[in-house]
Structures are given as structure tokens and as C-alpha cells.
Amino acid sequence: MEGFRFECLIATLRERPNGYVADALSHDGDVRLRFWGKTKRVDLLNLVEVSGLKKTESGLYMVKEFTLLDRFDELRSSFYRLAASLLMVEVSLKSHSGLRTLLLYLNKMKTEGIHDTLIGFFLEFLRENGIFDIGAMKRGALDLLNRFESGVPLDKNEKKRLLVELSKLVESYIGSRLSNITVFV
């Protein structure tokens, strides 16, 4: 029997008898994992490499071993960084997107501003999924976008206005409201 081994980011985690069930994002999209035993090493927003021998008929990967690659401690040090990170995870999970763009912007979040990182993530997400429609944006937001992309600094209120416009496009694509976007706008 051939096993599996892949990298993924834990997006949701539910305790079950004798272990945990997790929804995770891999490079190929979202996956469901089953961890056996009680461990404090598995947590939300953990990048792990998982391996095991079988995948159930329902699509649940039975994890035998996992290696913690990154806990994103820098993002856990601030409520706003953590909330922004979980917002990006939510968008990726609801859209069944892969891990590449999410990891890129989680790593940027470690060193860059929250609003700049979220704007960059939303733009990349919309372009990557072929749904970035300039015509759907208000003229003022389009001007802000052009300034942002050309490197002209925006003040905090301008960043918030741009973030609102981009979040509306993202919400329209994923078909639901983003749970904690109001924290940032």
C-alpha cells in the first residue's frame, strides 16, 4: 500500500475522542486530516508535513506522523496579526485555494504592515482566480489601487477604503461574508 506525505497548514481543528480532525490547506487545495492521540503540538495556523499509509473513502487522511515546520509565532504575538492571518486562511479555505499564495502572504505578514499585506493578498487572490474586475470597483478605489501598486504611500483611511472594496469582490467570489473583516476597516 502506497502512503502519502505532503505539507499543509492547519485551518480548523476539532477535538474528537482519541485525537483531532483538522481541515487543512495543501498545495493542491483543502484536505481533511485525522490525528490520533492527544497532543499539544497540533494547533491552528501550524504549517506541518504529514505522512501516513491510508486515505479513507470519505477523503480523510489518517496521519501517522507529522513534523511541525512553522508555528508562525510572529503572527501570534499580536491580536491584529493573528486575526488578519486567520482571515487569509478563511478566504483560502472557503475558496478551496492552494497553499502557495497563503504562505507567501503569511510570511510577508511577519515583517510588513497588516493592511498592506491584506491588500496584497486580496489582489493576488483575485488575480490568481481570474476574477479581478476593475470595472466592478468604484473610481476612488481604482485610484487608490493604482497608487498602491505604483508604490505611492496611502494613509490608513485610504488603505481601509481599498480593503473594503477588495473584500467585497472576495466575498462575492466565495459566496459568504468574511467573518472578521470589520476588525480592519
| Cβ-based neighbour number of residue 128 at 10 Å | 14
The predicted pLDDT at position 42 comes to: 80
| pTM to 2 decimal places | 0.90
- CA gap 29, 146 in Å, rounded: 31
Res. 46 pLDDT band, cuts 50 70 90: very high
Whole-angstrom CA distances from 12 to 9, 41, 53, 68 are: 9, 14, 22, 16
The predicted pLDDT at position 183 comes to: 77
* DSSP E strands, 64-105: 65-70
Res. 61 pLDDT band, cuts 50 70 90: very high
Measured in degrees and rounded to the nearest 5, phi and psi for residue 16 equal: -130, 165
Look at strands 65-70 and 60-63 and give their pairing: unpaired
Q: Give the CATH number of domain 4-70.
A: 2.40.50.140
Q: What residue segments make up the domains of the chain, in order of their start?
A: 4-70, 73-183
